Amino acid sequence: MDHSSGEALHVGLETAAPTVKKRTFAPRVTLAVQTYAWRLVIALAILTSWETAVRLKWVNSFLLGSPSGIWEAFLRMLLSGQLLNDIGATLTATLVGFAAGSLLGSLLGLGLWYSPLLARVIDPLVIALNGVPKIALAPMIIIWFGSGMFSKMALASIATFVVALLSAYQGATQVDRSLVNLMRSFGAKKYQVFWKVVVPSSIPWVISAFRLNIGFALVAVVGGEFISSDRGLGHMIFVAGNLFNLNTVWVGVILLMIAAMLLYTVVGYLESKLLSWSKSDAGPRTSVGA
Amino acid sequence: MNQNAIRDVVEVRNVSHFFDNPESGSIPVLSKLSLRIRQQEFVSIVGPSGAGKSTLFNIISGLLTPSEGSVLVHGQDIRQSTGHVGYMMQKDLLFPWRTVIENVGLGLEIKGAAKSKRKELGRDYLRRYGLESFADAYPSTLSGGMRQRVAFIRTLVTNPDIILLDEPFSALDYQTRLVLEEEILSVLREQGKTVVLVTHDIGEAIAMSDRVVVMSKRPGTVKQIYDVGLAALHGSALRARADHRYNDFFEAIWKDLDIQIGREA
Ligand SMILES: Nc1ncnc2c1ncn2[C@@H]1O[C@H](COP(=O)(O)OP(=O)(O)OP(=O)(O)O)[C@@H](O)[C@H]1O
Ligand SMILES: [Mg+2]
């Protein structure tokens, strides 16, 4: 019911499009420009008032850091080569862990469609694993795999694996029965139903898990680095924090934000490639903040 | 008996079906329905909504195992098997992530045809039904009538010798419908297909069919069968509509259905 009324609305909008477009095209450009302009203005306002407040000693730069101090710390670490080393370690661990966990989890989640019995059997285990804060596994993982990058990859894989598995399995079970019947009416084998219906129709679920997993992978890697490591942005933040070197902490935090945004862009690109057929209103979506 | 087995390509034997309903127990949908479809015959089924017409098609195509009774296709019990008939379902069921030409090629793909062959055949058919320029469009951009034609082509392109059509023209405007009826009738006759058509349009059933089967209301069973044969006689659905017996059939079938609706209301 809901669906059909939504479609009707959609069609209605489409037929109305030509006239509406003419009127809103110009304002839309200025809207984008306005958005960016405002963001810039707000950022500059925050940075200048922060810097001013620190210079005039209204706030304690020791407890807050300062924009100029952050910039100096950034340059110093960049020139010493230490920063790139840390960025490299964290990014590599995040990317590898994210990719391995998300891909394996998605494949297994989709594959569970083949065996509802197996899905039922492992259900409590998956739910329990999903509920556990993955960082609680860090001590164990670090004991097994050492304090190097590999243990961080393993942590990120575990953290992303469970989410990807649950989401992909849910997508696979919500596959449209009548599309499966259509396949069967052509005499399709089970593997054909899987590859031609189950996999493509689950892609929105898989992508939404990828999106969530960016955050989970970063939390796992940085958390692991906090606990035991010799490099990485988490390591850098942890050490600097212990020394009350807040400017360096800020550098790490900002770089982590940039890393997350880059990863979102990659997933967004992947989504636009894989879901080019849909008009941005198909499947579940999770916003950046979720 | 043996001769019958050869001439009847589809034989529905005493089929009953119940759907389990958590609230009201099991609902009988089909009740001891028997029907024989002969080689190269064009049979239409009309009946009130909910009579079990689509359920019957699901059973004949092997998607659904009947609670009782059996279905023979070419003399063989089809139980648990599919793929022996071309089945155009009531909903168009186009895959939204596939373009029109990829949708059209679905059946061929499942049967293992090469990509080049699928494209070629698909384009041929799309051209014939005036959809060539939409070959690379996604279904969400098509109108209901166009989607229905794509689903129809998807059924034909695998070249099945038995074809089940569940309200294939319901989304088309009257003119397109008449043209398509004509076109389909001539193509399917030429190729010697056996066709079973479900429709709510009594006129369409009379104009196209050798026989019209009227189903009773739920639980559906065969209420009446009319030997029409006007299309075969005149070689055209349009001219069949002009035959003086057309109205007699129409009135008779209308009465069969009217009584049902009257009782239901
Ligand atoms: N999967 C199902 N589960 C439960 N009940 C069903 C199912 N499919 C169909 N029914 C019920 O069986 C009855 C017959 O349905 P069916 O779709 O076969 O009717 P129909 O004759 O094709 O109707 P229409 O002309 O409206 O298409 C209906 O009452 C319907 O609600
Ligand atoms: Mg129906």
CB < 8 Å from B in window 203-222 of A: 203
pLDDT of residue B172: 85
Q: Say if CB A275 and CB A283 are below 8 A apart.
A: yes
Q: Phi and psi (nearest 5°) for B210?
A: -80, -40
Is the minimum distance from the CB of B160 to ligand 1 under 6 angstroms? no
Indicate yes or no: CB of A185 within 8 angstroms of CB of B93.
no
Find, in chain A, the residue whose alpha carbon is nearest to that of B105.
Answer: A186
The model's confidence at residue A27, banded by pLDDT at 50, 70 and 90, is: low
**Sign, Cα dihedral of B217, B218, B219, B225:** positive
Cβ neighbours of B83 in A, within 8 Å: 184-188
**Strand ranges of the sheet holding B222-227, from the earlier edge strand across to the other edge:** B86-88, B162-166, B194-198, B42-46, B211-215, B222-227
* Chain B residues lying within 8 Å of A279, measured CB to CB: 140
- In 3D, which of B198, B183, B167, B168 has the Cα closest to residue B237? B183
> What pLDDT band is residue A235 in, cutting at 50, 70 and 90?
very high
Model pLDDT for residues B233-250, shown as the tens digit of each residue: 888 888 888 888 999 999
Given a cut of 60, is residue A3 above it in pLDDT?
no
Region B135-152 average pLDDT: 90
pLDDT confidence of residue B173: 86
pLDDT attached to residue A28: 66
With 50 as the cut, is the pLDDT of residue B141 above it? yes
Determine the Cα–Cα distance for residues A105 and A205; give it in Å rounded to an integer. 12
Strand pairing report for B25-38 and B76-77: unpaired
- Model pLDDT for residues B155-179, shown as the tens digit of each residue: 999 999 999 999 998 888 888 888 8
Q: Name the β-bridge partners of B88.
A: B165
Q: Is the pLDDT of residue A169 over 80?
A: yes
Task: Look at phi and psi of residue A284 and say left if phi exceeds 0, alpha if psi is from -120 to 50, else beta.
Answer: beta
Instruction: State the complex-level ipTM.
Output: 0.88
3-state secondary structure B27-56: EEEEEEEEEEEECCCEEEEECCCCCCHHHH
Q: Is the pLDDT of residue A2 over 50?
A: no
- Judge: B140–A197 Cβ closer than 8 Å, yes or no: no
Q: Name the least confident of A3-7, B106-110, B260-264.
A: A3-7
Percentage of residues of chain A with pLDDT beyond 90: 66
Q: Is B152 on the interface with A (CB under 8 A)?
A: no
Closest C-alpha among A29, A86, A116, A117 to residue A233: A86
Is the bond into B219 cis (omega within 30 degrees of 0)? yes
Answer yes or no: is the C-beta of B148 below 6 A from any ligand 1 atom.
Answer: no
- Looking at residue A59, the DSSP 8-state letter turns out to be S
Provide CB contacts within 8 A for A125, sequence distance 6+.
Answer: none
Phi (first) and psi of residue B35, to 5 degrees:
-160, 135
* Contact present, B90 and B54 (Cβ < 8 Å): yes
- The residue nearest atom 24 of ligand 1, judged by CA position, is B49
For residue range A243-276, list pLDDT tens digits in order.
999 999 999 999 999 999 999 999 999 898 888 8
Q: Which of A18-27, A158-167, B126-135, B197-206 has the lowest mean pLDDT?
A: A18-27
Residue type, B13: R
> Could you tell me how many residues make up chain A?
290
Whether the CB of B138 is below 8 Å from some CB of chain A: the reply is yes
A125-163 pLDDT, tens digit each: 888 888 888 889 899 999 999 888 899 999 999 999 999
Looking at the predicted structure, is the pLDDT value of residue B150 above 70?
Answer: yes
Give me the mean pLDDT over the A167-181 stretch. Answer: 93
**Arithmetic mean of pLDDT, A228-254:** 93
Distance from the Cα of residue A199 to its chain's centroid: 21
For residue B190, pLDDT over 70 is answered with: yes
Using 50, 70 and 90 to split pLDDT, how confident is the model at B206?
very high
pLDDT at A23 over 70: no
Q: pLDDT band at B265, cuts 50/70/90?
A: very low
Residue type, A87: I
Q: Quick one: pLDDT at residue B175? A: 86
Q: Which residues of A touch B58 (CB under 8 A)?
A: 181
The domain spans of chain A are: 67-275
This prediction's pTM: 0.82
pLDDT-derived band at A42 (thresholds 50, 70, 90) equals: very high
Q: What is residue B130's predicted lDDT score, i.e. its pLDDT?
A: 86
Structure tokens at B174: 């009257």
Mean per-residue pLDDT for A277-288? 51
Mean predicted confidence (pLDDT) in A229-242: 92
* Range scoring the smallest mean pLDDT among A20-24, A59-63, A181-185, B211-215: A20-24
- A262: nearest Cα among A57, A254, B249, A209: A254
Of the listed ranges A6-10, B163-167, B202-206, the one predicted with least confidence: A6-10
Cα end-to-end distance, chain B, whole Å: 43
Short-list B136, B259, B229, B128, CA closest to B184 = B128
Closest CA to A163 of A102, A103, A207: A102
Distance B52 CA to ligand 2 centre (A): 7
**Tokens 């097994």 sit at which residue?**
A144
Q: Count Cβ atoms below 10 Å from residue B212 Cβ, excluding itself.
A: 25
Return the CATH number of A67-275, one of 3.20.20.300, 1.10.357.10, 1.10.3720.10, 2.30.40.10: 1.10.3720.10
Considering chain B, what is the average pLDDT of its residues?
A: 88
Of B84, B96, B106, the CB nearest to A278: B96
- Chain A residues in contact with B82 by the CB 8 A cut-off are 184-187
pLDDT of residue B187: 83
How confident is the prediction for chain A on average, in pLDDT?
85
